[in-house]
Amino acid sequence: MDSIDRLRQHPKERLAAPVQHIDLASLAADLRAEPHAPVSGHRQIAVVREGPVTVIFFLFDADGHLKEHRTEGQVTIHVLAGRLEVGVDEQRHELTAGQLLALAPGVAHSVRALAESEMLLTVNRHSM
């Protein structure tokens, strides 16, 4: 994507400061105000990307989703608002605000919003 076509400042520039103070309520309002339509019923933005750790903030419309995927890092899914269903193998984990689900590296999972929701996804690719 050309820098002229970018919706937001490049993460390398946006996340360059040694200290990041992130107001998630403000960030949610900014994401909702973006002029483009959500993809698969969600919007997302990286809020931390340092070394092996990435934290991504998601806003889901009701029935928004992430298709099944996996990552080589430890994953935590923290629901900030709303209700999410996380599919892991044949199991369905329903999570509400204040709940967190931890997944070992390589575990395939999908996410579906049962209501309008906000989520923080953290991936730690640090090898032990």
| Sheet strands side by side (includes 65-69) | 65-69, 109-113, 83-88, 91-96
Domains and CATH numbers, the chain: 11-124 (2.60.120.10)
| Sheet strands side by side (includes 100-103) | 42-50, 53-60, 117-124, 74-81, 100-103
Q: How far apart are CA 20 and CA 112, in angstroms?
A: 29
Percent of all residues in the chain with a pLDDT value above 70, rounded to a whole number? 92
Q: ∠6-117-124 over CA atoms, to 5°?
A: 65
Picking from 17-26, 60-69, 76-85, which range would have the lowest pLDDT averaged per residue? 17-26
pTM for this entry: 0.88
1 vs 29, higher pLDDT:
29
